[in-house]
Amino acid sequence: EELGLKIGEDLEIAYCPERFNPGDPAHGVRQVARVIGCSNPEVGDALVALYQRLTTEDVRYVGKLEVAEAAKVIENVQRDINIALVNELARIFPALDVDVEDVLSAAATKWNFHRYTPGVGVGGHCIPVDPYYMIQRAADVGVPAGLITAARAVNRSMPSHVAGVLSDLMWNAGVPAGEAKVLLLGWSYKAEVGDPRETPAEPLAETLMAKGITVGAWDPHLDEGSYPVGVEVVTDITAAQGYDMAVLVTAHKACLALDWASLAKQMRTPLVYDGRRVLDLDELKSSGWNAYAVGRPV
């Protein structure tokens, strides 16, 4: 506008959404399908030809720019909703004395069931953010986005829910109120990624600290400046001493490969909580732990 240029006459605007999965080399820039949005089909076709040189997968012109923009948003909205469903089930089924993973495994025997895994929360710069764009645009045109809003509420509340579960477990184990110490294993929002943006570890830590619980954190993918004030940064996991609860927040390979038997001996109270449903709880119990997991009855 400042230059006096008009779209469609002096220039064209197109959009190709980012599709990138950090920590996943199988879906890098050259291994994913792309979509191109542009109001000018000729420009769209030219960009398709360009992007076909950059990826081995399908490149498609999808029409006007808004279609490509909306596709980017709902890709992440869909994941947020699916994750919210299993996170809500992970609260319901333990109250019914049923392990949510047993239910999901049974349901997954049906050909059209799409399986997701519950966890301590959703993080990153896409999934917990993009739904708000859709919610706002729906509000702009007077259309309620109840399902999207509800899903966000479920996922946003998971760290608080888990904090309550951890508090109860420590209380039941005889850990004195006001003296409890929790060690978070992993801080980044995703396994094998050194990125703390929107990580559920932060609201989990904040909720625990608000209860008077001391929180330490160990993440081999992050430096000491990645953590908020108040969190004890553990740089050497073999030197972590005196904690009452270890919580697997991020399923880094380094976290899964820990010497769990040795870590149990370093704990004041050997409680462990699998916040990603990737640990063998029976094996942990044989290593001296009292083991629990999200979505599993106590």
Tell me the torsion sign for CA atoms 208, 194, 290, 159. positive
What is the three-state SS of 79-92?
HHHHHHHHHHHHHH
**H or E stretch at 154:** helix 146-172
Q: Are 32 and 18 in contact (CB under 8 A)?
A: no
Catalytic hit among 16, 38, 126, 255: 126
Distance in angstroms (rounded) separating the CA atoms of residues 264 and 244: 10
Torsion of CA 259, 232, 187, 257, to 10 degrees: -10
In single-letter form, the type of residue at position 193 comes to: V
Q: Which residues contact 113 (CB under 8 A, 6 or more apart)?
A: 107
126 has catalytic annotation: yes
Backbone angles phi, psi at 20, to 5 degrees: -150, 135
Q: How far is CA 103 from CA 14, 85, 159, in A?
A: 45, 13, 22
Which of these, 148, 123, 98, lies nearest to 23 by C-alpha position? 123
- Tokens 């239910």 correspond to what residue? 103
Catalytic residues: 126
